[in-house]
């Protein structure tokens, strides 16, 4: 294992490490699941409302629309819903893959900062591009020198504070997702290790393994909830930042 996962195929091009790791494979699987689930659900939708799978995905879509894109993006919500929805489902599948009980290979890509970092950076770049498109570079003048601030602050501390606040957004997006997923999965692996260790001891000690096993089951159920919540928060903040960038100029 290295800092980006277990290397399956080592590949370097011009000194750049392009090795295929289990994390890369997990990303491919998450992308494939996102495509298959969304396209499959769209094809299975019936006017009569039949089909549990299609109804489940449609319910999740309606939830995102009503609680994420419509409130934060307003009339732009319909245009940006495909992007925000794809972000949600892709991150959701990335999160859930870490719960597949093959710990030596399956791992949540989102428990790797090398994955959450670029995801957050992508959102950050798109948000800045939309801000410039809608308001021009003058957007940053209003951002760095807010008119609501007192004069002495407006041209002294406020620019520094606003720059830090702006750059902190992608950092917080990346670290929040990474930390929550990594911490939960490490706890599960710890208790699983305890189960395996206790099960290998004398017969009169084996029943004790039931305790860490029960904790592991509870943690697995909780991690499913966390997987949905973290995907929702990432999608919500993406919509919030887009809405602020495309809204009225500062």
Whole-number pLDDT of residue 130: 92
Question: Which has the closest alpha carbon to 105: 226, 6, 190?
Answer: 6
pLDDT in tens, 9-31: 777 777 777 778 888 899 999 99
pLDDT in tens, 29-75: 999 999 999 998 888 877 766 678 888 888 999 999 999 999 999 89
Which residue ranges of the chain lie beneath pLDDT 50?
A: 1-3, 249-250
Radius of gyration (Cα) for the chain, nearest Å?
Answer: 22
């Amino acid at each position: 294992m290295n800092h980006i996962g277990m290397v399956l195929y080592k590949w370097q091009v011009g000194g750049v490490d392009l090795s295929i790791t289990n994390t890369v494979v997990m990303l491919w699987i998450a992308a494939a699941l996102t495509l298959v689930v969304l396209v499959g659900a769209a094809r299975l939708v019936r006017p009569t409302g039949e089909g549990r799978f299609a109804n489940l995905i449609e319910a999740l879509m309606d939830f995102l629309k009503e609680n994420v894109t419509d409130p934060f993006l307003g009339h732009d919500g319909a245009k940006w819903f495909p992007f925000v929805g794809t972000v949600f489902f892709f991150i959701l599948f990335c999160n859930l893959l870490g719960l597949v009980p093959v710990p030596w290979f399956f791992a949540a890509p989102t428990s790797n900062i090398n994955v959450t970092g670029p995801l957050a950076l992508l959102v950050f770049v798109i948000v800045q591009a939309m801000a410039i498109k809608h308001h021009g570079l003058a957007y940053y003048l209003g951002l760095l020198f807010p008119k609501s601030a007192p004069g002495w602050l407006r041209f002294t501390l406020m620019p520094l504070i606003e720059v830090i606040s702006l750059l902190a957004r992608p950092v917080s997006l990346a670290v929040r997702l990474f930390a929550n997923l990594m911490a939960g999965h490490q706890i599960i692996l710890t208790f699983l290790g305890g189960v395996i260790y206790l099960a290998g001891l004398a017969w009169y000690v084996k029943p004790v393994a039931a305790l860490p096993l029960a904790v592991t089951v509870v943690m697995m159920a909780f991690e499913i909830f966390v997987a949905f919540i973290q995907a929702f928060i990432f999608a919500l903040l993406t919509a919030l930042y887009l809405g602020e960038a495309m809204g009225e100029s500062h």
